Structure 1
Amino acid sequence: MDRLKSVFDEFVSRHGIGVALFISLTVLVWVLVLIALPQVAMLDYSFRHNLSPQDIGGPQDVYTLSNYGFFLFRDGSGTNTLDMGVLGKTILASVLVTIIDVIVCYPIAFILAHSATGVAARLMILGLIVPFWVNEILRAFAFRVIFGATGLINGVGMSLGFWDVPIDFIRANVALYSGLTYTYILLMVFPIYNAVEALDRNQIEAAQDMGASWWRVHWRIVLPVAKPGIASGATMVFMLTAGALAAPQILGGPSNLWFTQLVYQWFSDAGNWQRGSAYAAILLVTCLGFVLLMMKVFKVNIGAIGR
């Protein structure tokens, strides 16, 4: 609390009390109205029965754990392995997408921070940002076209003789993982870039002068500095991937089901907002628990991620 007060006092001294109060009020409204209250309402819904409008507020309108029990046991007909399996597969797929994003974005961020200068740096930034001016759904359909049976990948591969018949990249979920990796690439690049940019180039040159290999320079010097940025980017990419809906629906194969699609089905198709809220709460708690576990494993605190 004292630290928060000191930060507020420092901000007031720099920008004035008016700006500080306006920003504080805006953040408070944003957090309270757009984040906290909807989550509280969803949590309240998740403990309610799915009643008709005339029964709401009546004697049957009581709190219950049946919506969460359905996720575990599906109305007492045995363990609900289907929905739990979908949740586990969604978490594992989100981890895979996050790892791919780290592998792809780390060298991009390093080159952007310490190698690219002038026109090259500006072109790299434009190349990263401009494609995201296109709507996410349109980008997902573009990936479906590229990876389709008659798409670019199959066309090039067959024309070069790499394979004779079209490969079903949609059913194999290659299109889905590629689309999700690309969708959140900026959320990984820029946190790593912000962390690596603070690294003194002289440290890298000194290590190279002492005979350190390229791998050792990055492992011992660059990665420790980039660790908070990687943790921040990985957290955002993982959470958003696990909560994605458009890309899994457009790019997912017929046998692939994302947990958010189950949530959508309960809300939209079944009209059971209470059970949909319970499933959404389960997804949120699972993702938060996984992120906190990974923070503990990799010894990264929330302050480092916030920076």
Structure 2
Amino acid sequence: MFKQLSERFGPWVSLGIFLLMFLWLVMLVILPQILMIDYSLRPNLPPSQIGGPDDQYTLKNYATLANNAIHQSIFFKTIWSSVLVTVCTLVVCYPLAYYLAKVATPRQAALCVLLLIIPFWINEILRTFSWFIILSYRGPLNALLLSLGFIDRPIRFLSGDGGVIVGMVYAYILFMIFPLYNAIESLDSNQIKAARNLGSGWIRTHYRIIIPHAKPGIATGCIMVFMLSAGSYAVPALLGSPGSRWFTQIIYNWFFEGGDWNQGAAYAFILLLLCIGFIVLMMRLFKVGLGDIAR
């Protein structure tokens, strides 16, 4: 990689790029994680007792989750809901990505991409709050359904996890559609034409040719959407009901309301391990490596 960069930009510019990458990786990724692990293994003590005899490494902060049935249920619900968000986002984005890559003209594709990107010029909290207005009890969606006669009374869309899932699918749609588009766009269209000429239906063509070729893009999109969903705070806080708390809200409460950074760090590290496990699972499921995902 360094050789390729040197041939393109020269040795000094390439060295600078690598140094910046190294500093970014160490300062913003590795050191914060090490600090979080250190916090998670220490008890929550007053400043005067830090470094004293009671300041010893312990697993009590991790045992809290095992002994708290409510936090366990929220943790597993967050996992399941994040998987559901990932699947829904994939189902929504795959047809659109195929259309952009193989059906639309360059002008149509550029217009569609522009329409997808423009809403993301607005802050995520404002976009999420717009869904709160749309899905509210007396919001425009209920008004439309009532006027068309589909329902007799307004529906409480925000009473469960439905609003959170809809908001997350919308919030992270670009993180799924662009990896899918890049993967499908690299497929030779002659393979699709050959399959169609040999009598293969559209479902069989997608199953046997397009989807296997797009596996790196599918894996990348699923990893990104799942990690963003599992670590989201704004969307569940705005669109969730009191009975649909997210695990990130528990972590937030430990840090900023309970003032127990050690316990919050333990919960955050558990969530990090979950995300790492999901990455490994996706790589094994789609039989792709880090090099395939990074392309």
User: 2:215 aligns to what?
Assistant: 227
Deviation at 1:137, TM superposition (A): 0.3
Question: Does structure 1 residue 203 correspond to structure 2 residue 191?
Answer: yes
CA contact (8 A) 2:251 2:267 kept: yes
Letter of the 1:119 counterpart: R
Question: Does structure 1 residue 252 correspond to structure 2 residue 240?
Answer: yes
Letter of the 1:62 counterpart: Q
The count of residues paired between Structure 1 and Structure 2 equals: 295
Residue in structure 1 matching 2:27, options 17, 29, 33? 33
Question: Does structure 1 residue 271 correspond to structure 2 residue 259?
Answer: yes
Distance 2:211 2:155 in 1: 37
Residue in structure 1 matching 2:41, options 34, 43, 47? 47
Distance 1:34 1:15 in 2: 26
Deviation at 1:299, TM superposition (A): 2.3
Question: Does structure 1 residue 156 correspond to structure 2 residue 150?
Answer: no
Deviating beyond 6 angstroms after TM superposition, the runs of 4 or more aligned structure 1 residues are: none
Distance 1:302 1:241 in 2: 21
Letter of the 2:82 counterpart: S
User: 1:116 aligns to what?
Assistant: 104
User: 1:69 aligns to what?
Assistant: 63
Deviation at 1:172, TM superposition (A): 2.8
State the Cα deviation string for residues 240-291 of structure 1 (Å, max 9, x = none): 1000000000001120010000000000110000000000001111221133
Deviation at 1:293, TM superposition (A): 2.5
Q: 1:243 to 1:273 in 2, by over 3 A?
A: same
CA RMSD of aligned residues (A): 1.0
Deviation at 1:295, TM superposition (A): 2.5
1:88-103 alignment runs, 5 A limit? 88-103=76-91
Residue in structure 2 matching 1:181, options 154, 169, 174? 169
TM-score calculated relative to the size of structure 2? 0.97
User: 2:125 aligns to what?
Assistant: 137
Distance 2:5 2:288 in 1: 27
TM-score calculated relative to the size of structure 1? 0.94
User: 2:154 aligns to what?
Assistant: 166
Distance 1:290 1:185 in 2: 19
CA contact (8 A) 2:182 2:217 kept: yes
Deviation at 1:155, TM superposition (A): 0.6
Moved more, 221-230 or 172-181: 172-181
Deviation at 1:58, TM superposition (A): 1.4
Distance 2:106 2:263 in 1: 54
How many percent of aligned residue pairs carry the same amino acid? 49
Moved more, 139-148 or 114-123: 114-123
State the Cα deviation string for residues 116-162 of structure 1 (Å, max 9, x = none): 11321111010110100010000110000000011121011111111
Residue in structure 2 matching 1:261, options 249, 265, 285? 249
Q: Which runs of 5+ in 1 are unaligned?
A: 1-6, 74-79
User: 2:201 aligns to what?
Assistant: 213
Question: Does structure 1 residue 192 correspond to structure 2 residue 175?
Answer: no
Which secondary structure state, in structure 2, belongs to the residue aligned with residue 250 of structure 1?
A: helix
Deviation at 1:199, TM superposition (A): 0.7
Moved more, 57-66 or 235-244: 57-66
Which secondary structure state, in structure 2, belongs to the residue aligned with residue 170 of structure 1?
A: helix
Distance 2:129 2:267 in 1: 27
